[in-house]
Structures are given as C-alpha cells and as structure tokens.
Amino acid sequence: MRTVIAVSNQKGGVAKTTTCVSLGAAMVERGFEVLAVDLDPQANLSLALGLPVNGLRRGAADVLLGNLSAVSVSRATAIAGLDVLPANSAMHLVERFLTVRQDYEYTLRSALAAAHTFEIVLVDCPPSTGAIPYTALTAANMLLIPTQCEYFSTHGLGEVLDLVRRVRARTNPQLSYRIVVTMFDRGNRVHRGILDQLRGAFGAAVLDTTIDIDPKLRESQVFGQPITSYAPSSRAAQQYRALADELSVYVRREPSAQPA
C-alpha cells in the first residue's frame, strides 16, 4: 500500500527539502520504491537530486493543473528506486490558477492514485499555508514538519497545525502529523531546552530522531546528491537512516490506523 508523506513548514530554512531528499534516499536503502514530488517554485528538491531545472518543459505544475499524469512527468534520478516529479518555472502560476478549478484540493490525490509503482511518495511543499500545501495535505497520510529548536521556527508551528485542523475538517480527516527537529546543536543549552518543551507540548508527535547540524549536508546539496550517497558514514546520513526506520512503522500501517 502506498503512503504519502507531505513535508511542510510555513517557515523557510528549516531543512525541509534536505529532509525530503535524505529521507527518500534512506527509504530506498530500506527497499522502498519512492517518488519525491517537488511542489516548491524554487525547485530546490529537483536541484538537490541533480536535475537541471532550467528549461524543463514538463513538471509538477502540469500535474496540478490537470494537463499531464504524475507518471508521465516523473523522472529517474541517480539513486535507483528514487524518482522525482520535478518543479519547473510554471509552478509560479499554480497558486493563481489552481483555486479556480472545481475541487482543486483533491487534484494531487487523484494524480497520485495512478502512480501505482511507488510505495512511498514524499511531497516537498513550499513554505506557506496556501493552496499548494493544502492540496498536498489533502493527498497525504501524514504530514512531517521539520523544525529547528529556535523561537521563530517553533512559534510558526501554530500556523501549520491550524492548516492541519482545516484539512482534517474539510478534505482529509485521517491526516496525522509528526514533528522532526532539524539543525539541532546538542551543545546548545537553548536548543536542548526548546526540545524538552516541544516534547512536553506535543508528546509522541515529536519523533525520537533528531537531525544534528552537519556541514556534510550543505556539501551534498552542492553536488546534487543525498547525504546517504555523498557521505554515507556521516552523522547526518546515520540520523536520516534512523528517521527512515522510525517512520517505516507508520508506512506499513493502514492510514486509518495511524495515530493522531
């Protein structure tokens, strides 16, 4: 059974795209067939997977606007078992035209229903709570929220959870969510304190795995490779593998059995 995980936070700079790429590659190592969907007009996910996006004629915008199927637009990456549905320049137009379509919220869900070959779909959302993330959360079984242990990052969780409540009420009552702490500095007392506060406030919704600050992550982006390929023995690679293991428990469950 396919599981769709939307990776989203309305605040930028929280390692959202890095998490989507690295988690996808780690899931492939565990034997899953993975499709990464780039819904961010900046196309960072596509770039991070080594895809030249300049001049790309077909992309996720065509799928959201109903012009092409997800399978016809998706492309293989250098990582066997990891395909990408890339973003192109037309993504800048999607927010304007998507909402005039009837039942636009279900567009991505319908498109992914035909992508039978993938066991896991990871959707990289733009940093907003607009129509595109709404469409992604409607299609998702789970929302994964990367966040830093910084005041502005954790403060922005409220807006994301408001979106979760709206989606549950209108289009996807089974949507669950999990929070993963990224760019964590174990030697920083403030970071440790905020992590404790997050665990106290959200309980089991905060994943056990944290992703520490690791310069190798930035280097891997420059070379267009997931961290598991670029520096397979690095701390970040091991942590993203641990994150894949932790989330694999939910991947193997029926959506109705996923905890809130």
pLDDT digits (tens, 9 = 90+) for 171-187: 999 999 999 999 999 99
pLDDT band at 155 (very low <50, low <70, confident <90, very high): confident
For residue 109 the two structure tokens come to 């869900």
Backbone conformation region of residue 107, classed left if phi is above 0, alpha if psi is from -120 to 50, else beta: alpha
| pTM summary value | 0.93
Is the separation of the CB atoms in 84 and 35 below 8 Å? Answer: yes
Express each pLDDT in 89-112 by its tens digit. Answer: 889 889 889 999 889 999 999 999
Return the amino acid letter for 20. Answer: C
CATH for 3-254, among 3.10.20.30, 1.20.20.10, 3.40.50.2300, 3.40.50.300? 3.40.50.300
The Cα 130–Cα 126 span in angstroms is 9
Is the separation of the CB atoms in 93 and 82 below 8 Å? Answer: no
Pairwise pLDDT comparison (50 vs 198), residue with the higher score: 198
- Helix (H, G, I), strand (E, B), or coil: what is residue 138? helix
The pLDDT value given to residue 252: 54
Average pLDDT, the chain: 91
Express each pLDDT in 172-225 by its tens digit. Answer: 999 999 999 999 999 999 999 999 999 999 999 999 999 999 999 989 988 889
Q: Where are the domains of the chain?
A: 3-254
